[in-house]
Amino acid sequence: MRFFPFSRVWLGDIFLLWYRYCEDGSLHQRKKSKRRGSGRLFCEIICLLGNIASFCPGRVDWEPHLDRVFNGLIKDMCIDSPAVRGDLSKSLQRLLTGYARILIWGIVPNSTVIPRMRNLFKILGNIYHPSTDSSSMLFFVTFCKKLLSVLVFRLRQELSRNSRSEEIYGKMPTWSRITVTQVDDVVDILLPLCLDASLYTRRSKSLDAVVACLDYLCLLRPRLFLPRLLTALEGGFELPELPMRVTRPLQALAESCSSITALRLSLCWSSTEMGRQPGDQVPLTTTQSTGAVSKTPKDWHTASQVSVIKSELLSAPGQITLM
């Protein structure tokens, strides 16, 4: 294991500012104060470091800075957790996204990110238990959602090749890629908390975020997700006096159907990915059963080609090759 150095003259100053402006709780204050400027600066620093972790994997060793990361998370989520009445502010969402990127992209062999995450979420599971009906529940489940979305993005990046990204940032080191065991560990940490929150939370916005978390969990590891969900559903049928114990698992199951039936972690459409360019495509054919043409970007075929395809479909809905 060897980190490829990411040398920039400003990187050391960014780390210095990160440790200097530690009072980030001013982001949660509604009234103007002298500390609010430092809170915004702290948020920008976290976002910048998250971008570095995401765009330059294997270049920065985050292990020496994990104490700072988890101390900041404990302060934001345990001590100064914001009471959210509506949607989260953009600054809080950007802060959670930066933290999520640092944690997920910091998972490498021999890293202590996952054990630290397990300890952190044991604490958060008690503080944000659904029975408390905390006004900060949306803040907690949004952080879980950010972690899972970044994990899905990382897997897609590692399972696909982006030639443009390689030209700018270099090839991703193979030793730093996340393993199946590490993905299972992250799912094992978040699945019980998200499932309990989906069963008992009373706030609609928190429920929407939790359902999105369950969809990500199903996409990542359906083998771990489905048994837990079906067990919760079966337990709900034994308690007819609590209808939400049945309706909530059914809602999660319905929302996760697309992830269950879809190809695991299919590649996202991108203008730079190899194999996704017009010249890289193999001739597309319609299916024998329905005669439907596979979906492609609109600019791949001219209007005349589309009209020819339509006429052929109407006349003889057999196998058609797009030239």
Assigned token pair, 303: 């209007």
Is 26 within a domain? yes
User: What pLDDT does 271 receive?
Assistant: 52
| Pair 150, 237 in one domain | yes
Instruction: Determine, yes or no, domain membership for 273.
Output: no
In this structure, the answer to whether residues 71 and 142 fall within a common structural domain is: yes
SS3 242: coil
What's the CA gap between 233 and 250, in Å, rounded? 7
Q: Determine the structural domain holding residue 160 and report its residue range.
A: 11-261
**Are residues 292 and 225 part of one domain?**
no
Same domain, 256 and 179: yes
Do 188 and 286 lie in one domain? The reply is no
**Residue 288: predicted pLDDT:** 42
175: which 2 tokens?
């030793």
Q: What is the CATH number of the domain that holds 33?
A: 1.25.40
Say what the pTM is: 0.74
Report pLDDT for 171. 74
Domain tally for the chain?
2
CA–CA gap between residue 141 and residue 128 (Å, rounded)? 9
- The answer on 201 and 140 residing in a single domain is yes
> Does residue 158 lie in a domain region?
yes
Q: What dihedral angle (degrees, nearest 10) is formed by the CA atoms of 285, 287, 293, 294?
A: -80
pLDDT for position 91 = 86
Residues 171, 29 share a domain: yes
Whole-angstrom distance, CA of residue 162 vs CA of residue 106: 21
pLDDT at 191: 94
In a domain, 91, yes or no: yes
CA dist 137 and 286 (Å) reads 47
10-residue averages of pLDDT along the chain (323 residues): 59 82 48 51 88 87 92 85 72 92 93 95 86 76 95 88 69 85 95 89 84 91 90 83 82 82 55 50 45 44 47 46 39
What pLDDT is recorded for position 5?
A: 55
pLDDT score recorded for residue 182: 94
Residues 168 and 294 in one domain: no
Any domain includes 101: yes
